[in-house]
């Protein structure tokens, strides 16, 4: 008698260069991989067992694929737009998921700000408006806030479309910039948080059975363009003192509990104000971009990509994080000019500190001016023995690493 082995199926939403690793990991774990992505040139289609040219935000289309393929789990790895469709479809099919209503709160900034304010979390004063609203009315509402203010889209991440203003001068430009990164065309204006810590606290956490079992807070490394708001890396340790760490961990667990988050990796973006109060800028219902899960896997000697896949399939990832020695950072390879990719120049002084590199481009490929992770050329992973070495790199990264373009 011939024994037929039926593989469990996982539906992955998104096949970008940074998401291919989730597809390959799922296959390594023995799952049959089904991919949805609307971009016809996505690299994930060449790694997946089956590919559908379907938008990851089209709930109806994703649901049909899930039904037709009889999938056992759904994962929107490192994808903000796909997180809610994944939760909605998984709930309809009785598959492992976090509450769609909580994912919806996390996915849109004004909903998130409302949740924070109603549940006793620190939150800057803010208001929202639709693109096309009367500019004089917007200016009138701004006068009720204290400058500086932040203008940004409500449905974007990674600091895309964000502008800090010290006065109403430049408001029109800020609105246009935010609109260019918004799908729902709802923008938010909020008071700038005067921070007691010199960097935004980024990174990821991992949750299982409603408990945070890995705290991966890191300090965000920012580029010199776009008002220094675009992240170009994450460094660890973050540099927080023990009291600040306790505050951050306590508030993270509190918000996870209140939202009813059951499992998975979430991306964090936090500021500490002058009194060390924790302000959640973002809590993304998905793994962080720029290969944050890979960096944290190195730091804690775990496999977070594998953990994401297993959790989506209802399997206990059995994470046992152990902090490794050293000082870690990633560096997003980028150029502020358009051109054709030639290579990457790394100074001899830090060459031995680069322990992994992921290059998305090959010679001659188009490089676009960097304004976020979608236009990254690749990522370097670095480890240093001392804090001083890490600080030197973070202060001089644009002199030490360069993307070379063809002349």
> pLDDT per residue over 105-122, tens digit each?
998 888 999 999 999 999
Whether the pLDDT of residue 302 is over 60: the answer is: yes
| 3-class state of residue 47 by DSSP | coil
pLDDT on residue 166: 92
How many C-beta atoms surround the C-beta of residue 10 within 10 A?
28
Above 60 in pLDDT, residue 3?
A: no
Share of the chain above pLDDT 90, in %: 85
What does the pLDDT read at residue 231? 83
- Taking only the tens place, the pLDDT of each residue in 189-231 is 999 888 878 788 999 999 999 999 999 999 999 876 656 668 8
pLDDT at 345 over 70: yes
Any idea what DSSP says for residue 276?
Answer: -
Give percent of the chain above pLDDT 70: 97
Which whole number is the average pLDDT over 126-149? 92
Pairing of strands 73-75, 163-165: unpaired
Q: How does residue 98 score in pLDDT terms, banded at 50, 70 and 90?
A: very high
Banded pLDDT at 273 (limits 50, 70, 90) = very high
* Domain-wise residue ranges, the chain: 9-97, 125-191, 194-324, 326-407
Q: Distance between CA 366 and CA 185 in Å, rounded?
A: 29
pLDDT at 241 over 90: yes
Supply the DSSP string of 111-144, one letter for each residue: HHHHHHHHTT-B---EEEEETT--HHHHHHHHTT
Query: For 377-398, how does the pLDDT look when each residue is reduced to its tens digit (9 = 90+)?
Result: 999 999 999 999 999 999 999 9
Same fold, 9-97 and 125-191: no
pLDDT tens per residue, range 328-342: 999 999 999 999 999
Task: Specify the CATH number for 194-324; select among 3.40.190.10, 3.90.1260.10, 3.30.470.20, 3.40.50.300.
Answer: 3.30.470.20
pLDDT higher than threshold 80 for residue 261: yes
Q: Which fold has domain 9-97?
A: Rossmann fold (3.40.50)
DSSP of 151-186, one letter per residue? EEESS--TTTT-EEESSSTTHHHHHHHHHTT-SS-E
**pLDDT tens, 354-363?**
999 999 999 9
- What tokens appear for 6 in the block? 């039926």
Q: How confident is the model at residue 76 (pLDDT cuts 50, 70, 90)?
A: very high
Query: Under CATH, which number does the domain 326-407 receive?
Result: 3.30.470.20
Determine the angle formed by the axes of helices 171-179 and 135-142, rounding to 10 degrees. 110
For residue 374, what pLDDT is reported?
80
CA-CA-CA-CA dihedral for 156, 161, 164, 170, to nearest 10: -140
Question: At 264, is the pLDDT very low, low, confident or very high (cuts 50, 70, 90)?
Answer: very high
Mean pLDDT computed over every residue of the chain: 94
Q: Is the pLDDT of residue 281 over 60?
A: yes
Question: With helix as H, strand as E and coil as C, how does 198-254 read?
Answer: CCCEEEEEEEECCEEEEEEEEEEEECCCHHHCCEEEEEECCCCCHHHHHHHHHHHHH
Environment class of residue 42 by beta-carbon count within 10 Å: exposed (0-12), middle (13-18) or buried (19+)?
buried
Q: Of 283, 220, 285, whose CA–CA distance to 251 is shortest?
A: 283
Per-residue pLDDT at 5 exceeds 80: no
Q: How many helices (H) and strands (E) does the chain have?
A: 12, 19
DSSP letter for 278, please: E
Q: Quote the distance between the C-alpha of residue 353 and its chain's center.
A: 25
What CATH code would you report for 125-191? Answer: 3.30.1490.20
The first and second tokens of residue 95, run together, are: 């598959």
> In the predicted model, what is the mean pLDDT of residues 2-7?
66
The β-bridge relationship of strands 186-191 and 126-130 is: antiparallel
Q: pLDDT tens-digit profile of 30-63? A: 999 999 999 999 999 999 999 999 999 999 999 9
């Amino acid at each position: 008698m011939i024994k037929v082995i039926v593989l469990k199926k996982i539906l992955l939403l998104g096949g970008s260069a940074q998401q291919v690793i989730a597809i390959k990991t799922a296959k390594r774990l023995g799952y049959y991989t089904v991919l949805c992505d609307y971009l016809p040139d996505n690299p994930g289609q060449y790694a997946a067992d089956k590919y559908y040219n379907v938008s990851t935000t089209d709930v109806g289309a994703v649901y049909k694929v899930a039904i037709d393929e009889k999938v056992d789990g759904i994962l929107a790895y490192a994808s903000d737009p796909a997180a809610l469709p994944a939760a909605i479809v998984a709930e309809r099919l009785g598959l492992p998921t976090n509450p769609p209503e909580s994912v919806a709160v996390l996915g849109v900034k004004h909903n998130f700000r409302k949740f924070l304010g109603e549940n006793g979390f620190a939150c800057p004063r803010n208001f929202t408006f639709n693109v096309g609203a009367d500019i004089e009315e917007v200016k009138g509402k701004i006068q009720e806030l204290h400058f500086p203010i932040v203008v940004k889209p409500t449905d974007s991440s990674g600091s895309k479309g964000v502008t800090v203003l010290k006065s109403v001068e430049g408001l029109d430009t800020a609105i246009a910039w935010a609109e260019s990164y918004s799908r729902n065309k709802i923008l938010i204006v909020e008071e700038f948080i005067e921070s007691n810590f010199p960097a935004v606290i980024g990174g990821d956490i991992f949750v299982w059975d409603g408990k945070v079992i890995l705290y991966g807070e890191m300090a965000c490394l920012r580029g010199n363009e776009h008002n220094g708001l675009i992240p170009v890396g994450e460094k660890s340790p973050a540099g927080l003192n023990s009291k600040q760490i306790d505050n951050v961990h306590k508030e993270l667990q509190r918000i996870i509990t209140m939202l009813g988050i059951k499992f998975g990796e979430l991306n964090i973006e936090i500021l500490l104000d002058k009194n060390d109060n924790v302000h959640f800028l973002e809590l993304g219902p998905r793994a962080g971009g720029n290969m944050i899960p890979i960096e944290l896997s190195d730091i804690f000697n775990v496999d977070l990509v594998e953990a994401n896949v297993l959790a989506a399939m209802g399997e206990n990832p059995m994470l046992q994080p152990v902090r490794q020695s050293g000082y870690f950072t990633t560096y997003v390879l980028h150029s502020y000019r358009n051109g054709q990719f030639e290579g990457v120049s790394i100074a001899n002084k830090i060459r031995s500190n680069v322990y992994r590199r992921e290059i998305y481009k090959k010679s001659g490929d188009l490089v676009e001016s960097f304004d976020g992770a979608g236009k990254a050329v690749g990522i370097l992973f670095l480890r240093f023995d001392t804090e001083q070495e890490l600080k030197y790199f973070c202060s001089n990264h644009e002199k030490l690493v360069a993307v070379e373009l063809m002349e």
